[in-house]
Amino acid sequence: MILAVCGKGGVGKTTVSAIGAKALAASGVKALIVDADPAAGLAMALGIEPKRTLNDVRKAIIEEVKAGRRDERDLAVSVDYLVAEALTERDNLAFLSIGRPEDVGCYCKVNVILKDAIEMLGGMFGATLIDAEAGIEQVNRKVMGAVDYVLLVSDTSAKAVRVAETIRDVSGRMIPDAGAGLLVNRVREPAEADRVESNTSLEVIGRVPEDDTVREFDAGQKSFFDLPECPASIAVEGTLTAAGFLS
């Protein structure tokens, strides 16, 4: 199963993804973790130093073509090999980072490689978890075309919920067979989540409380692989189970 964690910037997508990665590590399932956000927050949250990013792959392909070492006949083989070389392994997990393109403008070119990488690698793992870039760009460009479930993350603000609804609407057109559900993050009291649920058409499949342990790990840049069981981790794992991603 391939699951993408999507939502507005700043709502806690990376924290949710990091807790999901920790749960997958504990499960023993062979899993792929994709940091699809050029900000590379997931790599930092997990304490992983990628040996190569997909942007490095893009640059290597360009250099090989320019130097005449690759032609159209073997370019596809080259791309597959370079993408596989970009995986950073940790026990039962493999980590892949999009990287941060240095070019001015959008990340369209590296997003094309990301789309192909997800489609190529997804079937090789029992589970794939993607920490998507904020907003709708990657969904709109069909980067997430192979995704089975879109986990929409929002805090309790109306703006974040509206962004989640927009992402759901776009993903519904781009990947109509994918499931979708809303996780309400950083809930301080039940009434806040009740208000969100009563004012959205999205299916709310999880509520994650504000958690001092998570705040401490974020502030101290501690690896979420070392996160102890806490209210937030229990809630996130329960949400991923409800989505059919964890058993």
pLDDT exceeds 60 at position 73: no
Q: How far apart are CA 74 and CA 64, in angstroms?
A: 11
Q: What is the pLDDT of residue 57?
A: 82
Per-residue pLDDT tens digits for 194-207 = 999 999 999 999 99
Closest by CA to 152, choosing from 13, 10, 1, is 13
3-state SS, 35-99, equals: ECCCCCHHHHHHCCCCCCCHHHHHHHHHHHHHCCCCCHHHHHHHHHHHHHHCCEEECCEEEEECC
| Of 45-59, 112-126, 180-194, highest mean pLDDT | 180-194
What does pTM read for this prediction? 0.89
pLDDT (0 to 100) of residue 178: 93
pLDDT tens digits along 41-60: 999 999 999 988 888 887 87
Q: Tell me, what's the pLDDT at 107?
A: 47
Q: Provide the token pair at 13.
A: 């997508």
What structural domains and CATH numbers belong to the chain?
A: 2-242 (3.40.50.300)
Per the model's pLDDT, the better-predicted residue between 161 and 135 turns out to be 161
Instruction: State the angle between helix axes of 72-85 and 54-66 in degrees (0 to 180), rounded to the nearest 10.
Output: 150
Find the mean pLDDT for residues 5-14. Answer: 96
